[in-house]
Amino acid sequence: MSLVPLYGHNALRERLRAAVRRGTLPSSLLIHGPRGIGKQRLALWLGQLLLCERSPSNEAPCGQCRSCRWVDVLGHPDLRWYFPQRRLKEDLSLEDVQKDFVTGIENRRDSHGLYAPPSGLDGIFIRTVHLIVHEAAMTPAVGNRKVFIIGDADRMIAQEGADQAANAFLKLLEEPPSDTTVILTTSEPAALLPTIRSRVIGVRASPLSDAEVRAFVQDTLVSATLKSPPLPKTVEARVELAQGAPGRLLDSTAAAEAASVATAMLASWRKPASDRFRMGLRFGASQARGFFSEVLDALTSLLHDRMREYAEAADDDGARRAALAIAAVEDAKLRASGNVSPQLIGSSLLRDFAALRP
């Protein structure tokens, strides 16, 4: 089954295409940006570009050659896609680990490349790292290049006693074979191991425009897949819920929860300080950083709506307070991209909201 086409990222795609034509694309690349904007799909597009048999034509990836068709059904033997999976036994053979990923790839292919975020228990564990390093040492199967895509690379688990494998992976990033390109993606670059961040060249992917999200939502493959009951029925409501990140629609329950928390945060200025403190603590749970980013994005959307309402009502003071709140959220997003605890950022943001009350 074919993948849903890549929507958006046109400027970044042209930059990457130009780098491939010039021969200046880094051998180890990190694509980072907000959750749900299609970073792994963009990485697959780049892999297709690198493996396209008509490269380096301006039209590449052509979508018609043998290699492009294989990538489109996740069947190219020289494109390897790794992502968080459930933990396997550490004594399994590499062949067994590979079979587990074959099953994971088949599941993603059957859903046209649309999938919900990994659970908090999923990760990229040490046996997967062994497999990546092992396969990187092999020659390409059909072409002259191999491409490794490691999605949600921040979920790579450091394990005690695994120094040899970790060092081998770092060496792969630092000096990959001349026929190999490694593409990592993450929504949490600060959560990557510093030793990994120092060995890759980062490029940032941005959220999609409403028009691009609308085209995604109206794609027949997408509309046939998005059957979740909590999802809004109209196209415009889905565009609004996505907020530039179509991946939100694949986990609409989490998106709705983020919007609910954002609404509660905006109402917190009426609450006692103790209630705001308890609300800030909720961002300290395991794997909370990704959810916290979702809440901040939802806050931005809600505040823009309020600012428009205040402007239409000629409420200058309300519009001013909404603008200050937006600035506070944007500052929180900047701090959240680092290693600052979501608890601290969330609690500080709640205090900022309380200070803006009339």
Q: CATH number for the domain including 37?
A: 3.40.50.300
- Chain-centroid distance of CA 20 in Å reads 23
pLDDT in the model for residue 159? 55
Q: Which pair of structure tokens corresponds to residue 214?
A: 């609308």
**269 and 235 together in one domain:** yes
**286 and 177 together in one domain:** no
Q: Which pair of structure tokens corresponds to residue 268?
A: 């917190």
Q: Which pair of structure tokens corresponds to residue 252?
A: 């609409």
pLDDT in the model for residue 118? 78
Look at residue 30 and give its three-state secondary structure: strand
**226 and 281 together in one domain:** yes
Judge whether 184 and 198 are in contact, CB under 8 Å: no
**297 and 197 together in one domain:** no
- pTM, 2 dp: 0.74
pLDDT in the model for residue 160? 45
The domain boundary, picked from 204, 223, 251, lies at: 204
* Residue 5 belongs to some domain of the structure: no
**129 and 269 together in one domain:** no
The domain boundary, picked from 187, 204, 221, lies at: 204
**85 and 163 together in one domain:** yes
pLDDT in the model for residue 330? 83
* Residue 4 belongs to some domain of the structure: no
Q: What angle do CA 23, 150, 284 make, to 5 degrees?
A: 130
**62 and 139 together in one domain:** yes
Give the residue from 98, 60, 58 showing the smallest Cα distance to 82: 98
Q: How many domains does the chain have?
A: 2
Judge whether 88 and 101 are in contact, CB under 8 Å: no
DSSP 8-state symbol, 270: G
* Residue 72 belongs to some domain of the structure: yes
* Residue 25 belongs to some domain of the structure: yes
**255 and 336 together in one domain:** yes
How far is it, in rounded angstroms, from Cα 260 to Cα 107?
31
pLDDT in the model for residue 286? 43
* Residue 137 belongs to some domain of the structure: yes
* Residue 3 belongs to some domain of the structure: no
- Identity at 40, one-letter amino acid code: Q
How far is it, in rounded angstroms, from Cα 345 to Cα 348?
5
**199 and 301 together in one domain:** no
**107 and 215 together in one domain:** no
State the first-to-last Cα distance of the chain, in angstroms, to the nearest integer: 56
The strands making up 28-32's β-sheet, listed across from edge to edge, are 79-82, 146-150, 180-186, 28-32, 201-204
**150 and 248 together in one domain:** no
Q: What is the CA radius of gyration of the chain?
A: 22
Q: Which pair of structure tokens corresponds to residue 121?
A: 């228990």
Q: Which pair of structure tokens corresponds to residue 4?
A: 């849903």
* Residue 159 belongs to some domain of the structure: yes
The domain boundary, picked from 183, 204, 225, lies at: 204
What is the residue range of 187's domain?
Answer: 10-204
Output the tens digit of pLDDT for each of the chain's 358 residues.
789 999 999 999 999 999 998 999 999 999 999 889 999 999 999 999 999 988 655 667 988 899 999 999 999 999 999 998 887 777 788 888 889 999 999 999 988 998 877 766 678 888 888 899 999 999 999 989 999 999 999 888 665 445 566 678 888 998 899 999 999 999 888 778 788 888 999 999 999 999 999 999 999 888 877 765 567 778 898 898 888 999 888 876 666 677 788 888 888 777 777 777 777 776 764 445 667 877 887 888 788 888 888 888 888 888 888 889 888 888 887 777 666 778 888 888 888 888 887 7
Q: How far lies 184's CA from each of 28, 55, 223, 265, 322, in Å?
A: 8, 22, 28, 34, 37
* Residue 1 belongs to some domain of the structure: no
- The residues that bridge with 180 in the sheet, in sequence order, are 146
How far is it, in rounded angstroms, from Cα 285 to Cα 5?
35
State the DSSP string of 142-171: SSS-EEEEETTGGGBPP-TT-HHHHHHHHH
DSSP 8-state symbol, 123: B
Burial track 75-107 (b if 16+ CB lie within 10 A, e otherwise): ebebbbbbbbbeeeeeeeeeeebbebbeebbee
Residue 180: which H helix or E strand, with range? strand 180-186
**143 and 196 together in one domain:** yes
